[in-house]
Amino acid sequence: MTKSTIEPMTLNIEVPAFPGGQWPINPTLIISENAVVLVDTGMPRSENLIAAELEKRGLSINQLTAIILTHQDIDHVGSLAKLLEVNPNIEVLAHEFERPYIEGNLPLIKGLPGPLDEQFSEGYVVPTEAPVIKRTLTDGEELNIAGGLIIIHTPGHTDGHISLYHPASKTLIAGDAMIIRDLNLEGPNPMHTPDLEKAYKSITKFAAFDIKRVICYHGGMYESETLNEEIAHIAATGSAE
């Protein structure tokens, strides 16, 4: 592999209680010469969906070198334990503030909406090997992945929420800092963001980067030549509310 690829891996989670019976979420897959990295791990029992998406690309869970967790929410960490059971050599990275929740020393801050909680709470397994987080991440740190991957601490949705920027492709992996709804890029979901003011302040940090593509966990890929202006508008609108 000589060229890095960064793309969302859409997982259609079966949720009978939802309209249409499915809930799409979008972990990100980063493939480069030195790494195969998964950003976030889906809901509990998503490991087979992840394996199927990897297989489409000629890969397997055993080839994952790292998992980067944007934050602790169950739809992002839900299949971590099962992936580590298959491949215990995966390096898990997250912000220090998220560590005690991901490792099971503190309960996850946010629950799930009723139908999701009933369906998935019993399926969630905390990894048993401690420490799970092999490396903690800090704001502005650049990882030697895919030619450089910059960590952006974006608190608000959770205290230790991070986003990632890949300069070579001008791609922002937003996590839950922003969402895509009805093909429009928007700020974070207010129903699931405890500190909206802080979350919108975090969005202003994206102005430091030349962004042409955004991958949102809820919504997938959004591309635009005027993304920085659009993101600045979102940040300004949110701070004015």
Q: Which pTM value belongs to this model?
A: 0.93
Domain tally for the chain? Answer: 1
pLDDT class for 130, splitting at 50, 70, 90? low
pLDDT class for 115, splitting at 50, 70, 90? low
DSSP 90: P
Q: pLDDT of 64-107, one tens digit each?
A: 999 999 999 999 999 999 999 999 999 999 999 999 999 988 88
pLDDT class for 1, splitting at 50, 70, 90? very low
Instruction: State the number of CA atoms in the 13 A half-sphere of 126 facing the CB.
Output: 14
Q: Are 207 and 231 in contact (CB under 8 A)?
A: yes
Domain of residue 163: give its range.
Answer: 5-240
Q: Across-strand partners of 236?
A: none
Q: Which residues contact 184 (CB under 8 A, 6 or more apart)?
A: none
The CATH number of the domain where 39 resides is what? 3.60.15.10
Rounded CA separation 13/116 (Å): 10
Q: pLDDT of 192-214, one tens digit each?
A: 898 999 999 999 999 999 999 99
Tokens, residue 222: 């959004």
Query: Within a 10 A sphere around the Cβ of 190, how many other Cβ atoms?
Result: 11
What pLDDT, on the 0 to 100 scale, is given for residue 240? Answer: 46
8-17, 90-99, 162-171: which has the minimum mean pLDDT?
A: 8-17
